[in-house]
Structure 1
C-alpha cells in the first residue's frame, strides 16, 4: 500500500511540473517576446550562400542591424524593433 501512495505522489509532482513548465512557455514568468524587424541587405550584388557571411555584411552596413541570414538566396538583415 505504501508503494502505491509514493508512486501516486511522484506522478502528481511530475504532472504539476509539466503543467507549470507548459503554462510559462519555458521563458519564465513575466518575460516578453522581443520583436524582430527584418529588411533586405543593401549589398544585394552577391548571391547568399552563407548565413555567417550575410550576418557580417549586415553588421558592417550599419543601421542598427545585429544579424543576418540567407533567405531565398538573398541576404536578409534583422534587428530588434
Structure 2
C-alpha cells in the first residue's frame, strides 16, 4: 500500500511515520476499506459484502481487549 504524504509523492507504508494525525487516520481508513472491498474476497474466492466486512472489523476492534461472545460481535450498535 502506498501513501501520499505532505509532499504529494507516493511512499510505501513506512512513509506514514512522522506524518500528522489526519494523514495517519486517512491511511488506516483507506487500508481498512481496501481489505473490505478487495482483499478478503480475493483470499476467499467468494464475493463479500464490503459493508458487512467493515462492520465485522469494527465489532472486532471494539472487543479487542475483552472476551466477547459471537452474539456481541454480531450485534450492531
How high is the TM-score relative to the length of structure 2? 0.28
Larger Rg, first or second structure (1 or 2): 1
How high is the TM-score relative to the length of structure 1? 0.27
Higher strand proportion (structure 1 or 2): 1
